[in-house]
Amino acid sequence: MTGLPRLFGADYSVYVRIARLCLIEKGIEYQLVPLDIFADGGPPTDYLAKHPFGRIPAFEHQEFSLYETSAITRYIDEAFEGPQLQPLDPVHRARCNQLISIADNYAYPHLVWGVYVERISKPGRGVSTDEDKLVAALPKARNCLAAMSQLMRDGPWFIGEQLTLADLYAAPMFDYFLMTFEGAELIRQHGNLQEWWARMASRPSMAVTKPS
Ligand SMILES: N[C@@H](CCC(=O)N[C@@H](CS)C(=O)NCC(=O)O)C(=O)O
């Protein structure tokens, strides 16, 4: 066992990718321990000691174990040297936290599960799209993009000049969503999100963490 921080998960996972983006953007060497949460028969039973809710990622740093991506990424940002990924002033930090909450509660279920999984992931596995679910997700996805576009400050990133956790949360969700025809159509209505996505997608951290 190395002394490197360890992240348990799989590269297809949005949340594992968020944590990896955070580690990479901070410049931290880490070990990705493969854990397929959707494996036949479920994850190894001893994984539940690391994450009692059976999700990925889980994280270990020396003797410290942690699960829930919001706690993991904030810990990484605060415990390690490297570029600050959270604004210091209360207003911008609150906006960053608000965008993370939007990503968790609206973008992940609607953009990823409602649109991407139904349109691309399920047919790719030979499972039929639930058209009702997809149709129901689209106005919610539209609303989500409109809210995120409205909250985006002038500047290259969501919070302006500083790349923050808000960008790292949104990016893996947008990456899946924009693979769909509907996602590509919807983002066209928001020039600032389109420009943000072009910038975000060209970061080396995004290339390194691209799902295989
Ligand atoms: N609240 C968790 C969510 C993590 C999560 O939902 N991960 C997905 C993969 S992206 C997962 O493990 N899904 C397994 C399942 O739903 O059974 C976090 O922030 O870490």
pLDDT at 3: 86
Ligand 1 atom nearest 72 alpha carbon: 20
pLDDT at 2: 66
Task: For domain 90-206, give its CATH number from 3.90.70.10, 3.90.480.10, 1.20.1050.10, 3.40.50.300.
Answer: 1.20.1050.10
Report domain extents, the chain.
6-79, 90-206
Please write the tens of the pLDDT for every residue from 35-63.
Answer: 999 999 989 989 999 999 999 999 999 99
Ligand 1 atom nearest 16 alpha carbon: 10
Residue 14, ligand 1, Cβ within 6 A: yes
Query: Ligand 1 centroid vs 56 CA: distance in angstroms?
Result: 5
Mean pLDDT of 92-119: 98
Cα–Cα separations (whole angstroms), residue 191 to 56, 98, 104, 182, 197: 33, 21, 23, 16, 10
Pair of tokens at residue 153: 């400050």
Residue 1's pLDDT band (boundaries 50, 70, 90)?
A: low
Query: Ligand 1 centroid vs 58 CA: distance in angstroms?
Result: 10
Mean pLDDT of 81-101: 97
pLDDT at 68: 98
Mean pLDDT across the chain: 97
CATH 3.40.30.10 fits 6-79, yes or no: yes
Residue 65's pLDDT band (boundaries 50, 70, 90)?
A: very high
pLDDT at 143: 98
Mean pLDDT of 197-211: 98
- Beta pairing partners, 67: 58
Q: Residue of the nearest CA to atom 16 in ligand 1?
A: 55
Q: How far apart (Å, rounded) are the C-alpha atoms in residues 35 and 39?
A: 9
Residue 155's pLDDT band (boundaries 50, 70, 90)?
A: confident
Mean pLDDT of 130-137: 98
Which value, in Å, is the radius of gyration of the alpha carbons in the chain?
17
Q: Residue of the nearest CA to atom 6 in ligand 1?
A: 55
pLDDT at 5: 98
